[in-house]
Each structure stands twice: as structure tokens, then as C-alpha cells.
Structure 1
């Protein structure tokens, strides 16, 4: 009654069930292309579609391949990462904000189980951002940080004399060689507010930061750690048919099985050699082969005594 003088109207919110169903159909429907009298399931890769040529009297003259439209060559998108590190009496931490094409943004925080200076924390954040960029197959990366020492050492303006700084700089150059373009730019702290706040929260001892990805580092990136090597032979599993379909459009010969694979593949995404299952509300889930799936829990719980476990 008191707000009626401001011409405010209250309208009950309608049910959203119909919108949920519409979003589900839009996301899971496989694109279809009609060729002749047959509907052909079309994946997001180039395929060759065949149709029958018929003469005026109705006789078939053979199968003519119709090339699918080729997508234009992909333009290498520039990825950007904002990094920052923090070291105080409460602990040490770092953070990064990775941005990519299609408004992709990833907030990532690091909590250290070791003492590190502000410069070392800045390097750790930069290395984490570069590793994530490599995993996303980014070929061009531009990094922004507000640490003058780190930016100047990478640009070659300052000389790295401390042994730990030399190791960090060598690690950065090693990772930068995996991309076609890499650049580090120093920016004022006021232009790096988000990463600055996240790094301070990670250093303050928080084990969770809402929906932000958080990782606990028990050892620094430059410490030599003997990696456990696991010899895994290629093993056939349910992933092979989906990968073949997403990569080259190859389907099983049986029509029933082919339709089943095509429908199931609509819920998956192939990035290089990695297969991911798309989720409606969660990040993409990486699919593992049986042997890797058995090893993953062991690797995840190897530091079970850490505060992040």
C-alpha cells in the first residue's frame, strides 16, 4: 500500500517449466540435414553425404557424393590471463582470471602449503595460468600482472640473479615455447582488482571460495618432484565410437547402433584428444578410460594430509 504511489505493479512469476524444456531441447537436439528422402545426422565436423541420382523414368544411376560445406579456417583467438600473488602472516596464495573466446571466463585460486615471497607467488599464479592455457590449446596468450619485477624479468629488462627467480623464469620460458605467441604486460593494481582480491582471500586461509576453482599446492612449481609414470596401452572402451563420430563423422555400420551413437554424442565435446561430457549447470566433465579412472582417485588423495583435503 505504501509503495502504490510510486506506480509499482506486482505481477506473479509464471512457471518456468516450459522454458526449462525449451532449453533442454535446444541443447540436446542433433542438427539434421535432409538429403533426398533420408534424414542424415550431421555432426559438427566435415562429412561426405551421399544421395541417389534418379533419371526421369525413375531408375537409379548410382551414388553421388555431396561434399558438406567446409568451415572457414579457424582464427587463433587471443587468450588473456590476469594474475596476482599474495604473501602475508596468514599464509601465501595466488589467483588468476583466464578469459577466452565466446565470453569464456575462469576464476582460479591457489593456496600454498609453503612459504613464498610476493614475487614467487606472482610467478606461481602466472605458471598456473599458462598451464591452463596449454590445456585449453590456446596458441596466443597475453598475461597481465602488477608485479614490476616479474614482468621486467620476463621481458628481459631486469636480470634474474636469485636462484629461485632464475628457476621460475626458466619455467615460464619453457611453457611459453608451447604457444605461438606469449606476452607479459605490467598493469596498475587498480586494473587487476579481481585477481588481487582473490589472491588475498586464498592467502587468508579460506579452503573454499564459493563456485571459484581452488587448488592447494603443497610444493612450489620449481621443486623437483619425481613424477609417477604409468604405462598405459590403448584400450578400447565406450569413448572410441563417440570420438570417431565427433572427429570424422564415422558411425557403426548397424543403423540402430549408429543412431544411438549420434544421439549420445550430442552430449559430448571433443577437444584434441580429450573427451568431455557437457553438463547443464556444472563445468564440462573429462572422460577417462578405465585404467586412468582407476589411477585418478589415487592421485587426488595422495596429499590427503593437506588442509585442502
Structure 2
């Protein structure tokens, strides 16, 4: 690295390190890929959220049939229950899909409670969970086609 700095300084150029390279990859990908998005492409969103006394977070994987994928890891800076973390993961995945202009999605989650609430088999009784349910259903309706499926924990990693 030092050798490049010395070589570039001879030409009156200055080397600057790039510190945010990971987010730059995502930005470049979105800028390039969203322009050629096809409506027939089905994207899969794998979501998982978890919470404990120390921290909470989520992992989201968005992939299509052509094996293009985006992985997003989020750390929540606010206290959550485990179900809230799973809903937050679901919402983050749906927002990411919207940003990439995905028209057809299948969302996979290992939370049977969340998936059955979203498929309107179970009801959410807790007021906070009702708000999460309503927001997630609203996000799902913004896609051309959306489906929520339950999968085992082993398949969701």
C-alpha cells in the first residue's frame, strides 16, 4: 500500500482508502440491477430474527432463480421480543425487495407463529404484534405477487 502512495505522489496524485466498500457494493449492485429487472423473475426472501437479553438482530437473504443474491445482517439498537425481531426481519426483507423492485416474491421464515399470522390462519392478539402484522401485510400487498411459507430452521440458514 505504501508503495502505491509513493508511486502516485510522483504524479501529483493522492491515494485515498475506501472505508465503506461493503455498502458501496450493494449500492452499485442496486444501481446496475434494478434497471434490468424482469417481472417474471421470482425472488425468494429468507428471513430470521432473534432476540435475547444482550442483543437482537436479523438476517435476510434475497435471491432469485438465477442465483443472484443479497445478504443483509441487521443489529437492532432497540429492545425487542423474539417475535418482534422476526417481524422486523420480515419487514427489512420486504423493504429490500421493494428497493430492488422485485415484483414476485416468496418469503420463507422458520417462525410458524409469524407465517400463520401472515397467512391469516392465526390472529395476533398483542397490540404490538397486531401493528407488526398490519404493517407486514401492507408491505406484502405492494408486490405484484407475494407468498409467505414456513420452513424448518435447518433450511432457513
TM range (shorter): 0.7 to 0.9
Q: Which has the higher helix share?
A: 2
| 1:182 pairs with one of 138, 146, 149 | 146
After TM superposition, what 4+ stretches of structure 1 lie above 3 angstroms from structure 2?
none
Measured against aligned partners, the alpha-carbon deviations of 1:195-229 in whole angstroms (never above 9, x if no partner) come to: xxxxxxxxxxxxxxxxxxxxxxxxxxxxxxxxxxx
Query: 8 Å contact 2:86–2:111 — kept in the other structure?
Result: yes
Greater Rg, structure 1 or structure 2? 1
Match of 1:93 in 2: 57
Match of 2:116 in 1: 152
Match of 1:168 in 2: 132
- Where in structure 1 are there 5+ consecutive unaligned residues? 1-73, 194-309
- Where in structure 2 are there 5+ consecutive unaligned residues? 1-37
Taking structure 1 as the reference length, what is the TM-score of the superposition? 0.38
Cα root mean square deviation, aligned = 1.2
Match of 1:137 in 2: 101
Which fold has the larger relative contact order, with Cα–Cα distance below 8 Å and residues 6 or more apart in sequence?
2
Match of 1:117 in 2: 81
* 1:81 matched to 2:45: yes
| 1:126 pairs with one of 61, 76, 90 | 90
Structure 2 distance, partners of 1:75, 1:130, is: 16
User: After the TM superposition, which residues 1-309 of structure 1 pair with which residues of structure 2 at under 5 Å, given as runs?
Assistant: 74=38, 76-193=40-157
Structure 2 distance, partners of 1:102, 1:84, is: 23
Match of 1:252 in 2: none
Structure 1 distance, partners of 2:60, 2:91, is: 10
Structure 2 distance, partners of 1:89, 1:133, is: 30
Taking structure 2 as the reference length, what is the TM-score of the superposition? 0.73
Paired residues, number: 120
